[in-house]
């Protein structure tokens, strides 16, 4: 999810996360940002569907026209599409989902109870804890309250070295949003995913990010 504040044009590409940063030959897509017609008008949110076609990641629509201040959200309904990176550049700057700097939002829905330690795989200081609590489906009242809370999102604000809040509690199925106010280029990753195989075998305790 990325906000575009200034008029201009961005050319972007979709990269499988496993090859991001390596040589590649991917299709390119376009976002055109025009000046806002009315300053009083609310910002709009636009959705781009990410699909796999002929072995490549495709954006639908491939060309998007928005107004300054609007937000673009990339998502995929295809479970066969693994992690991917959205990376673009224009005259007013650049953006990348694996190195977010400002006006970017990363979201993730948690479907399994447990404690998750997240951090920046680039070595930045940002990190935190998310506790996902289970729901007793046999308790009708608890199930009703859970269904109501599914529509509620939890926001974590990242600004330089500060993360607010550093620890959050949510119910299974809820979504967490990381709002990047200012960063040198951050990604959000489960700490367990960056363990080396040898470390995973020798350590049976949970991995916690450095504080």
Residue by residue, DSSP assigns the chain as -EEE-SSEEEEEEEEETTTTTS-----EEEEEEEPPS-TTSPP-EEEEEEEEETTEEEEESSEEEEETTEEEEEE-S-TT---EEEEEEETTEEEETTSB-SSEEEEEE--S-EEEEEE-TTS-S-EEEEEEE---TT-HHHHHHHHHHTT-EEEEEEETTEEESSEEEEETT-EEEEEEEE-SSB--EEGGGG--HHHHHH--SPP----
- Could you read off the pLDDT of 110-141 as tens digits, one per residue? 999 999 999 999 999 999 999 999 998 888 99
pLDDT at 149 over 80: yes
Among positive and negative, which fits the CA dihedral 65, 90, 13, 174? negative
| Residue ranges per structural domain of the chain | 1-98, 101-211
- Report pLDDT for 21: 52
Per-residue model confidence (pLDDT) at position 24: 56
Q: Which residues of 136-172 are buried (b: 16+ CB within 10 A; e: fewer)?
A: eeeeeeeeeebeeeeeeebebebeeeebeeeebebbb
Q: What is the mean pLDDT of the chain?
A: 86
Nearest-angstrom CA–CA distance, 116 and 132: 8
Q: Report the predicted TM-score, pTM, of the whole model to 2 decimal places.
A: 0.75
More confident: 77 or 170: 170
The end-to-end CA distance of the chain, in Å, is 27
Residues in the chain: 211
Q: What is the pLDDT of residue 202?
A: 37
Instruction: Report residue 55: phi and psi, to 5°.
Output: 80, 0
């Amino acid at each position: 999810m990325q906000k575009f504040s200034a008029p201009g044009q961005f050319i972007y590409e979709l990269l499988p996360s496993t090859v991001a940063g390596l040589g590649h030959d991917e299709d390119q897509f376009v976002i055109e940002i025009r000046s806002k017609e009315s300053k009083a008008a609310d910002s709009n949110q636009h959705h781009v569907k990410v699909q796999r076609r002929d072995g490549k990641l495709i954006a639908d629509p491939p060309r998007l026209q928005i107004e300054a201040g609007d937000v673009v959200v990339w998502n995929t309904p295809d479970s066969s599409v693994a992690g991917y990176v959205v990376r673009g550049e224009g005259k007013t700057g650049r953006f990348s989902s694996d190195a977010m700097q400002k006006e970017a939002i990363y979201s993730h829905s948690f479907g399994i109870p447990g404690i998750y330690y997240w951090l920046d795989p680039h070595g930045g200081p940002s990190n935190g804890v998310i506790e996902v609590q289970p729901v007793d489906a046999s308790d009708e009242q608890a199930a009703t309250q859970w269904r109501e809370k599914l529509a509620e999102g939890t926001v974590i604000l990242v600004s330089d070295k500060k993360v607010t809040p550093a620890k959050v509690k949510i119910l299974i199925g809820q979504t967490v949003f990381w709002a990047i106010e200012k960063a040198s280029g951050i990604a959000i990753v489960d700490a367990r995913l960056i363990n080396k195989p040898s470390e995973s075998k020798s350590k049976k305790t949970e991995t916690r990010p450095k504080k």
